[in-house]
Structure 1
Amino acid sequence: MKIFSIVFGVLIAICGFSCIFTPLITFLEAGYFLVILLFVYGTVGIIRSVSNKTYGIDFVFDILSIILGIVILVVPGLKLMTDGMLIYLMAFWFMLQGVINIFQAFKQKKITKGMGWVWTLTLGILGVLVGIYSVVHPMLLALTFGILVGVYFIESGISMIVMAQYIQGDEE
């Protein structure tokens, strides 16, 4: 499970750099990026929850991520509509993911030794702040969408890699 989380974390971070270097293409194809993110994030999260036998709010959020990805991909015209609404969807997604990272950081702090939880907490707070700023300034988000999505992908990848260390702590 540790290697699986690290590999997906690295792949998501690489996708993040791709988004940063091609922001216009990222915005134009954002619906597909969202579907990929939802599937990967949901799948890795479900596998992590099942392997750790923890079925809390993050497990429910992972299932909802996969369901939302399927709905966007299958319903005709929804991807086009999603591209238009994606600005607000991503803003709220940033906030929600940030809150979940904050909860995971405090859970990680209680269970493990070391300061790895601080990194998860910092990334969670950053996600909430980016989400709030994006809701307040949606046009700025539209102009910088590719960069923000890239930063989010990099943050998610780093978070998965950090959480892999948390998984290792459970096995010892």
Structure 2
Amino acid sequence: MKVLNFIFGLLSVIGAFYCIFYPGLTFLNSGWIVTILLGMWGICSVIDYFLKRKKSKSEQSEAVMGTLGLIVGIAAAVVSVLAMFIPSIRLVFDITILCIFSGWLIIDGISSVAMSFKVKNSGSSAWIISLICGILVIIGGIYGLFHLVFTAQTIGFMIGVLLAVYGVKLIISVFEKPSV
């Protein structure tokens, strides 16, 4: 399993550089990226479950989530293939993703602002940073609703960053001592 983790980690880091330097293309290929990541995660989770064969709840839930990830990955592959041949599906799919992301930013920003007021009531001075970040995220979400190219590039960049973190995590897991 360590060899697979290292290979997938290295491929993830290499892919992350591509995603960070070409965020627009990354967004346009996000269906394939999601398909590949969900497929790899699902396969590795199921293999890991069968290799360990522990009957604890956490291991079973990981196998179930991995199987669901594999199923969603296959569904994403079907939608991505359909989008190649039917441009209207691609357009609706892309606009839906962009609007959901912008809406998520607005909701997350509102949540951050609300949390900052809870932190303020506890007496901490860190609430100002949370308030400023929340307001900036709300502004970014509203801006993203009206400027979808900005949102697409932001998503592409974020995919690259998340892929890099995931890849580094996999590579580091190779060097960890196994738990008994």
TM above 0.5, yes or no, is: yes
In the TM superposition, residue 12 of structure 1 has moved relative to its aligned partner by 1.1
RMSD of aligned Cα (Å) = 3.0
Q: Say if 2:69 is the partner of 1:65.
A: yes
State how 1:8-157 maps to structure 2 within 5 Å: 8-54=8-54, 55-75=59-79, 76-77=82-83, 80=90, 81-87=92-98, 88=100, 137=141, 139=144, 141-157=151-167
Aligned to 1:113: none
Counterparts in 2 of 1:38 and 1:83: CA distance versus 1, 3 Å: farther
Aligned to 1:104: none
Distance 1:150 1:36 in 2: 14
Determine helix, strand or coil for the equivalent of 2:20.
helix
Identity %: 27
Larger Rg: 2
Match of 2:178 among 162, 166, 169: 169
Counterparts in 2 of 1:48 and 1:61: CA distance versus 1, 3 Å: same
In the TM superposition, residue 38 of structure 1 has moved relative to its aligned partner by 1.2
Determine helix, strand or coil for the equivalent of 1:169.
coil
Greater shift in the superposed pair: 6-15 or 52-61: 52-61
Distance 1:29 1:23 in 2: 10
Structure 1 stretches lacking a partner, 5+ long: 93-132
Distance 1:59 1:155 in 2: 22
CA distances 1:104-159 after superposition (whole Å, capped 9, x unpaired): xxxxxxxxxxxxxxxxxxxxxxxxxxxxx69x837264331111000111111122
Structure 2 counterpart of 1:153, which letter? L
* TM, length-normalised to structure 1: 0.61
On the 8 A contact 1:35/1:72 being kept in 2, the answer is yes
Structure 2 stretches lacking a partner, 5+ long: 105-136, 145-149
Counterparts in 2 of 1:22 and 1:46: CA distance versus 1, 3 Å: same
* TM, length-normalised to structure 2: 0.58
Distance 1:151 1:19 in 2: 8
